[in-house]
């Protein structure tokens, strides 16, 4: 087992009182999505984004195509619209550790993650506007900037327990605003 995983399980067992390791809340997978709508104007965009995502995640991204045509976005059926990577196991643990410890503190004007980004099942979604916050990407060599959406899927069925899980992993959250009573 990984040192980070053991450390997280110890923090969680102290925090929520679950002694059984198999009953512990855990992160199942991390899904990274990138929209590639600019491929119509810049043909090299797909290749650049694919290489960047491969370097960031350590895994080759899968190309997603449009299921049906949408005239408002000038998309035809089977057009390439995105790239996705699903990380599990060792690569997922490394990616999440890097995200919490290195990437998020490098985001400009970062004040913590929003606690409203949890869904009712304890899954967490966040967006990163530029890939250059990842240490593997050089700012000078980046030809294009692209953002990405990250969804971290858990086995938790409660958003409060999900927040405790992510705090144990070291994710920085915004402090909840304190409402003062007037009058």
pLDDT in tens, 55-77: 888 899 988 777 777 767 767 77
Q: Which two tokens stand for residue 158?
A: 């409660």
- Look at residue 41 and tell me if it is in a domain: yes
Q: Which two tokens stand for residue 104?
A: 């998020």
pLDDT in tens, 149-169: 899 998 888 777 888 888 888
Phi, psi of 38 (to 5 degrees): -80, 5
Residue 38 pLDDT: 61
Question: What does pTM read for this prediction?
Answer: 0.81
- Look at residue 44 and tell me if it is in a domain: yes
Output the DSSP codes for 61-115: PEEEE-SS-BGGGTB-TT-EEEEEEEE-HHHHHHHHHHIIIIIHHHSTT---B-G
- Look at residue 19 and tell me if it is in a domain: no
Helix (H) or strand (E) holding 40: none
Cα–Cα distance, 40 to 37 (Å, whole number) = 7
Beta bridge partners of 149: 33, 127
Residue 119 pLDDT: 82
Higher per-residue pLDDT: 78 or 22 = 22
Q: Are strands 27-35 and 62-65 parallel, antiparallel or unpaired?
A: unpaired
* Domain total in the chain: 1
The total of other beta-carbon atoms located within 10 Å of residue 86's CB is 17
Share of the chain above pLDDT 90, in %: 8
- Look at residue 114 and tell me if it is in a domain: yes
> Which residues constitute the domain of residue 107?
3-14+25-168
Share of the chain above pLDDT 70, in %: 89
Sign of CA dihedral 147, 152, 158, 163: negative
Residue 114 pLDDT: 79
- Look at residue 71 and tell me if it is in a domain: yes
Cα–Cα distance, 76 to 37 (Å, whole number) = 12
Phi, psi of 33 (to 5 degrees): -120, 140
Q: Which two tokens stand for residue 92?
A: 């997922």
- CATH code of the domain in which 60 resides: 3.30.1440.10
Cα–Cα distance, 138 to 133 (Å, whole number) = 9
- Look at residue 178 and tell me if it is in a domain: no
pLDDT in tens, 119-155: 887 788 888 888 777 878 777 777 777 888 899 998 8
């Amino acid at each position: 087992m990984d040192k980070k995983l053991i450390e997280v399980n110890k923090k969680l067992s102290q925090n929520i009182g679950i002694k059984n390791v198999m009953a512990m809340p855990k992160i199942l997978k991390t899904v990274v999505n990138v929209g590639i709508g600019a491929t119509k104007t810049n043909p090299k965009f797909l290749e650049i984004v694919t290489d960047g995502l491969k370097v960031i995640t350590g895994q080759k991204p899968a190309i997603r195509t449009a299921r049906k045509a949408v005239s408002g976005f000038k998309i035809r059926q089977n057009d390439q619209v995105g790239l996705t990577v699903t990380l599990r196991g060792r690569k997922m643990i490394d990616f999440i550790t890097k995200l919490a410890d290195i990437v998020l503190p490098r985001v400009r004007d970062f004040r913590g993650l929003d606690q409203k980004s949890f869904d009712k099942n304890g899954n967490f979604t966040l967006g990163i506007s530029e890939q250059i916050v990842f240490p593997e990407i050089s700012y000078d060599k980046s030809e294009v900037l692209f953002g990405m959406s990250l969804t971290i899927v858990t086995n938790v069925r409660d958003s409060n327990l999900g927040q405790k899980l992510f705090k144990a992993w070291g994710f920085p959250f915004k402090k909840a605003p304190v409402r003062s009573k007037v009058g």
